[in-house]
Chains A and B, each alone.
Chain A
């Protein structure tokens, strides 16, 4: 990156450290933090949307819809989420390719044959000739959808509980005023449920942060991948030879996560305070008294 880094073997001390930490591989490492943040930025709203749909479905009066919603909510209860992660990443890929093969392939054979999953080359996603970027992007996309499905189920559970927690008197009053079911849902239930959902959602946000290293298991080049790559001992054949530094890299990741969760904790506490304004809860009452 810098000119004085042209010959890494000739420099030492602080200059060496500066050059080492700005090597091309390290820049990629720093960008992988952006990957993690990007995953969070896409997954959080997606999971919220999935959760909202799931919870609404579970409350539906149409029995099959409500069953679907409830199955979705409870599927994450007894089974470790990492199983879902490993499962969905392959399953989604195969389902997509099978679906595509029905359209683009001439031969519609059942793809799970013996010890392979076989579709015609045109049905591969992305195509074998696509650039490495598309393979990476597709892998990341699968990871995002997987995260959204699994966390959507967590969110659905929280929102379902929150909708139940809104005092019965509120929707009853709305009905007495002549509001329809949809109006009650939109005007009364949704604005009030957030304060009940917030502790659960805050908890989920922390869990989502702490789940991001699992990207590594899903084959994405994330911060864990680079920490292992960069930390591993490098012989003299490398530009910057060093011993096994993985401990220090993982220590850095640990500090990153601790800082991230701590900042989130403080942020969530602020939002809770804000949302408690004017709510018929103990928190809202305390704020009202303090203000008066």
Chain B
């Protein structure tokens, strides 16, 4: 009956994405089972975090630029987008998005004879990812917008003196400087986006077939064993590792963005814990 730890890893290592043993352990919970299943759930946290950050980065750049535009028809929508996603709790955004997506016609939408299936949008992998993507885009856009505004005037004047204007000035001077100035804050944003992924399965999006993220499994164990002192420290341990990995990765990019500066004037990434959204 009892499995070795290696057998447990084989059975539950990919359980969160539906591969391996179907039934979750129900009694005699071993430490190995808890580490394995919670670790398996981290796959979802990585999936949500990485994809939302990747896609959100591009939208954030566009929104930051739109927010700096003179034309109010471009600026106002960007301001409202940032206001709505930064001014309300992510938790409510998840609920709202889920309820809205559920209201889409179940059978799909028929647009000019092209049949669009909509059922998948209520699944966490799509619906929650969409919310996280928009949310991180709004927070990052605010960071990049602030960075854009704090580009030293001298840099822009120097660019013009060299004859750089318009798009060329933007892509060679403004955009890299914006990234460089905003990067420490953006690193924080990335860390807290990964933290925010733990909300997904607690906020309306159901975990079909008990396929959930790390915190979902940690709560499963805590509820079953009535002992919170083991599963929650395990998921905390995984997140500390993840935070270290994110910091290292973003630190490398920060180094590259600052490589032209003398070493004593480089901006260092300082972690500021904030941002539950």
Q: Is the CB of A82 within 8 A of B198?
A: yes
Measured CB to CB, the nearest residue on chain A to B45 is: A80
Binds A, one of B50-58, B171-179, B215-223: B215-223
- Residues in A whose Cβ lies below 8 Å from that of B219: 86
Q: Is the CB of A247 within 8 A of B100?
A: yes
Measured CB to CB, the nearest residue on chain A to B29 is: A115
Q: Is the CB of B236 within 8 A of A79?
A: yes
Cβ-based interface call for A174 (8 A): no
Number of chain A residues whose Cβ lies closer than 8 Å to a Cβ of chain B: 47
Q: Is the CB of B239 within 8 A of A79?
A: yes
Q: Which listed residue, B27, B100, B229, B239, touches A83 by the CB 8 Å rule?
A: B239
Q: Is the CB of B99 within 8 A of A250?
A: yes
- Residues in B whose Cβ lies below 8 Å from that of A87: 228, 232
From residue A224, how far is it (CB to closest CB) to chain B in Å?
7
User: Mask for B199-233, Cβ within 8 A of A = 1, else 0?
Assistant: 10010000000000001001100101111110010
- Residues in B whose Cβ lies below 8 Å from that of A251: 96
- Residues in B whose Cβ lies below 8 Å from that of A231: 99
Q: Is the CB of A78 within 8 A of B243?
A: yes
Please, how many angstroms separate the alpha-carbon atoms of A80 and B240 in the complex? 9
Cβ-based interface call for A67 (8 A): no
Cβ-based interface call for B78 (8 A): no
Q: Which listed residue, A116, A216, A258, touches B83 by the CB 8 Å rule?
A: A258
Measured CB to CB, the nearest residue on chain B to A265 is: B87
User: Mask for B259-277, Cβ within 8 A of A = 1, else 0?
Assistant: 0000000000001111111
Please, how many angstroms separate the alpha-carbon atoms of A90 and B233 in the complex? 13
Q: Is the CB of B239 within 8 A of A80?
A: yes
B96-127, CB < 8 A from A: 96, 99-100, 102-103
Cβ-based interface call for A210 (8 A): yes
Cβ-based interface call for B235 (8 A): yes
Cβ-based interface call for B2 (8 A): no
User: Mask for B1-42, Cβ within 8 A of A = 1, else 0?
Assistant: 000000000000000000000000001000000000000000
Q: Is the CB of A204 within 8 A of B239?
A: no
Please, how many angstroms separate the alpha-carbon atoms of A77 and B102 in the complex? 36
Q: Which listed residue, A117, A203, A224, touches B91 by the CB 8 Å rule?
A: A224
Please, how many angstroms separate the alpha-carbon atoms of A257 and B86 in the complex? 10
Please, how many angstroms separate the alpha-carbon atoms of A79 and B235 in the complex? 8
Q: Is the CB of A250 within 8 A of B272?
A: no
Q: Which listed residue, A80, A90, A216, touches B196 by the CB 8 Å rule?
A: A80
Q: Is the CB of A250 within 8 A of B92?
A: yes
Q: Is the CB of B89 within 8 A of A210?
A: yes
User: Mask for A205-238, Cβ within 8 A of B = 1, else 0?
Assistant: 0010111111011000000100110010000000
Measured CB to CB, the nearest residue on chain A to B100 is: A247
Q: Is the CB of A82 within 8 A of B215?
A: yes
- Residues in A whose Cβ lies below 8 Å from that of B170: none
- Residues in A whose Cβ lies below 8 Å from that of B273: 76-77, 153-154, 157
Cβ-based interface call for B84 (8 A): yes
From residue A29, how far is it (CB to closest CB) to chain B in Å?
15
Q: Is the CB of A211 within 8 A of B232?
A: no
User: Mask for A255-266, Cβ within 8 A of B = 1, else 0?
Assistant: 001100110000
User: Mask for B48-88, Cβ within 8 A of A = 1, else 0?
Assistant: 00000000000000000000000000000000000110011
Q: Is the CB of B195 within 8 A of A81?
A: yes
Q: Is the CB of A83 within 8 A of B99?
A: no
Please, how many angstroms separate the alpha-carbon atoms of A214 and B92 in the complex? 10
Q: Which of A90, A91, A204 has the most B CB atoms < 10 Å from its CB?
A: A90
Please, how many angstroms separate the alpha-carbon atoms of A224 and B96 in the complex? 11
Q: Is the CB of A82 within 8 A of B202?
A: yes
7 new A-B contacts at CB < 8 Å, known A79-B195, A79-B239, A83-B232: A80-B239, A94-B228, A115-B226, A117-B227, A250-B96, A257-B88, A258-B83
A-B contact pairs, 13 of them (CB 8 A): A79-B236, A82-B195, A83-B235, A90-B228, A91-B229, A115-B224, A154-B273, A154-B274, A210-B88, A224-B91, A247-B96, A258-B83, A258-B88
7 closest residue pairs by CB, A with B: A80-B195, A78-B243, A78-B240, A87-B232, A117-B226, A210-B89, A247-B99
